[in-house]
Chains A and B, each alone.
Chain A
Amino acid sequence: MTQMNMIQALNSALDVLLTDDPDTLTFGQDVGYFGGVFRVTEGLQKKHGVTRCFDTPISEGGIVAAAIGMAAYGLRPIVEIQFADYILPAYDQLVSEAARLRYRSGGQFWAPMTVRAPYGGGIFGGQTHSQSPEAIFAHITGLKTVIPSNPYDAKGLLIAAVEDDDPVIFLEPKRIYNGPFDGRQNQSLRTWANEATAEVPEGRFTVPLGKAAVVREGREATVLAYGTMVHVAAAGINDSGVNAELIDLRSIVPLDIDTIIASVRKTGRCVILHEASRFGGFGGELSALVQERCFHHLRAPIERVAGWDTPYPHAFEWDYFPGPTRLADALRRAMEA
């Protein structure tokens, strides 16, 4: 076990993959010589060579299209999109090609590839370095979407994503790359040092896709979250005084529906927290699922706490960001209902 922040854990996962499997390779903008703008691929080109870790042209569509072709051939490409906000030029490739290749070819071709992308706000990145696009991938069947919330999971989930035989979108919460963040922007920065989830094995291990984590147990309400919002939720639960159970979904497709149902049937209340805009967000799907499967156990309306239905605004970062106060308020409303 070694202490790692999330960047180091992801770097370690890539290093393990490149070392163990000659058919893996990783590429993207500024990924090779420079080591990536967030340093996730630092040192990998030097160690594994330019044919295994390399820079690409600024063409997200080209990067993903090339990855699809390589994956269809039999390699396991792991590509980086510099910011999730810039994945949209590749959306057609992901939706029309990667997601359907296996289905439309009657199982003759498939694309075992992983697309990594830092996502989310809280870094004063403005409209195009802050977005959370998970819902537009969750909506596309044939794609898996994974979102870690700590270094241990980041490494284990990334290795599992690459081992998976389907295309996986791997969204990295960049606000917590260097330390957990509970949404209180005025408090001093924390690092991952001394966090239990920052104890990461140096070798190969996986965290299975589709298995949620119960981060803390509770009796009165269930909070569903992923990524940075897991930490925000923990703080909000503390503030609320509600004895709430916190579930880190870890992957939204595949979704660990059993863990969600078991928890809500036990607690009778459900609050969903995500940073993406609320309308048409993944919280809508979660809410529908809980309503369909737990209706008779619910003692309060399901609450959704999310970003507002606006673009991510620079000056209003903390008015937009769904922080612990809004979660605590929602929990109290659920208790009073």
Chain B
Amino acid sequence: MRDLPYGLIRVLDDGGDAVGPWNPNLSAEVLVAGLRAMLLTRAFDDRMFRLHRQGKTSFYMKSTGEEAIGAAQSMALDANDMSFPTYRMLSWLMAREYPLEDLVNQIFSNANDPLKGRQLPILYSARDYGFYSLSGNVGSRFGAAVGWAMASAFKHDTKIAIAHIGDGTTAEGDFHEALTFASVYRAPVILCVVNNQWAISTYSGFAGGESTTFAAKALAYGLPGLRIDGNDFLAVWAATEWAAERARTNNGATLIELFTYRAAAHSTSDDPGKYRPVDEAAHWPLGDPVERLRGHITRLGIWDDTKHEALIAGLDSTVRLAVKAGEAIGTLGKSKPSVKEMFEDVFATPDWRLIEQRRELGI
């Protein structure tokens, strides 16, 4: 157990075979569904990134290279479990078939935006899909995941919580506070560090990642720490299942480090060429999660290039249709929810200030 945080748990070997004790032995159907969620995430990211370039929205962030994480975890956990995601967890929603049009409308902040025009693009919230409300400030939901899990235990419920934090953000107090609470109260929670090697322009060493592993931080809190190849759909699945079983059987929390690589820019606001070699992603030794899963199911004989190209083409047109529908309602600034929405939900019931101010605006 004490060695796990220093190793790297993998299931898919370099040849695309599933090997070793962590093999979750997933069905062909699940494997293809996982690949589909990852490819859909990538197609959607690419399309929205381009729409940002065309001025149709204010901001976007891709999760390219990290798609296996959200997809595998979303599928491995129960519909009623709650995730406390980062902004790079779109594949969680894709695996649960969240409506693409709602994503597009949120990104355009248009009249049909499910978040009513209030939130920056991609800072989704999707309660019915086990996706807790995102916020721009990093890290600050990590402790709430522990609280959610404690509440579930308090209610003798079987739901568990899962939370994500970036490698860079482990430097915030939120990370350490959450681990302490998770350990002290033996909360049924899975705490995940998505180590994509970068935090905007600084590499993981600035968060202490050169002195030890992020998984190893678990040991000082008396928790198990697993270090997982985050580009290996099967390994992510297996580790998540392991930690979920531990949580559901009241054995407490687990810290999982998902070792991956942020293949794209941090966001639409930066140029990675200014701080890292532009071809670094191509040299990432653990490969591309999409290609690795594809290689695996090809070896299993359930997949081939024709099927793959057909899937991509189908997903591209699905994304295009959703974007078209969103554009028909309106891109950023061309359409927005009623300005009334600005004053709603500040409180459950608006007080006199909000009522007066709304009147002052004439709505």
Contacts and interface: CB of A to CB of B under 8 A. Distances in A.
Interface of A: 29-30, 33-34, 37, 55-62, 85-86, 88-89, 124-129, 278-279, 308-311, 313-316, 319-320
Q: Is the interface of A mostly helix, strand, loop or mixed?
A: loop
**Which of A56, A86, A308 has the most B CB atoms < 10 Å from its CB?**
A308
A187 B169 CA distance: 38
B120 A314 contact: yes
Question: For B110, B117, B332, B342, which residue has the most chain A Cβ atoms within 10 angstroms?
Answer: B342
Interface in B148-175: 168-169, 171-174
A31 to B, nearest CB: 9
Given A30-B201, A34-B275, A320-B342, A314 B117 contact: yes
Contact of A129 (B136, B201, B353): B136
B269 interface: yes
B346 A85 contact: no
Given A58-B138, A58-B199, A310-B343, A315 B120 contact: no
B298 interface: no
Contact of A319 (B136, B270, B342): B342
Interface string B169-207: 101111000000000000000000000000111100011
Interface of B: 58-59, 109-110, 113, 117-121, 123, 135-139, 168-169, 171-174, 199-202, 206-208, 269-270, 274-275, 332, 336-337, 339, 341-343, 346, 353-354, 357, 361
B278 to A, nearest CB: 15
A283 B135 CA distance: 28
25 contacts: A29-B202, A30-B200, A30-B202, A34-B200, A34-B274, A37-B200, A58-B138, A58-B169, A58-B199, A58-B206, A59-B171, A62-B171, A85-B137, A89-B173, A126-B59, A126-B120, A128-B120, A308-B342, A308-B354, A313-B341, A314-B119, A314-B120, A316-B341, A316-B342, A319-B342
A310 B354 contact: yes
Contacts of B118: 127, 311, 313-316
Contact of A309 (B120, B171, B332, B346): B346
Contacts of A313: 117-118, 341-342
B164 to A, nearest CB: 15
Given A309-B354, A316-B339, A89 B119 contact: no
A59 B168 CA distance: 9
- Tell me if B's interface is mostly helix, strand, loop or mixed: loop
A79 to B, nearest CB: 15
Nearest to A308: B357
Given A308-B342, A316-B341, A58 B332 contact: no
Nearest to B363: A319
Given A124-B332, A125-B120, A57 B343 contact: no
A127 B136 contact: yes
B346 A311 contact: yes
Given A59-B172, A127-B136, A128-B120, A314 B109 contact: yes
Given A33-B201, A85-B136, A124 B339 contact: no
A242 B353 CA distance: 28
Contacts of B275: 33-34
Contact of A126 (B123, B208, B341, B353): B123
A308 B118 CA distance: 14
Given A55-B206, A315-B109, A126 B201 contact: no
Contacts of B137: 85-86, 88, 128
A59 B109 contact: no
Contacts of A314: 58, 109, 117-121
Interface centre among B58, B123, B139, by most chain A C-beta atoms within 10 angstroms, is B58
Contacts of B171: 57-59, 62
A33 B110 CA distance: 38
Given A34-B201, A37-B269, A127 B342 contact: no
A55 B120 CA distance: 26
Contacts of A129: 120, 136
Given A309-B354, A314-B119, A314-B120, 6 more contacts: A33-B202, A57-B206, A89-B172, A315-B332, A316-B339, A316-B342
Q: Which of B171, B173, B174 has the most CB of A within 10 A?
A: B171
A59 to B, nearest CB: 4
Contacts of B207: 57-58
A119 B171 CA distance: 23
B337 A315 contact: yes
A61 B140 CA distance: 13
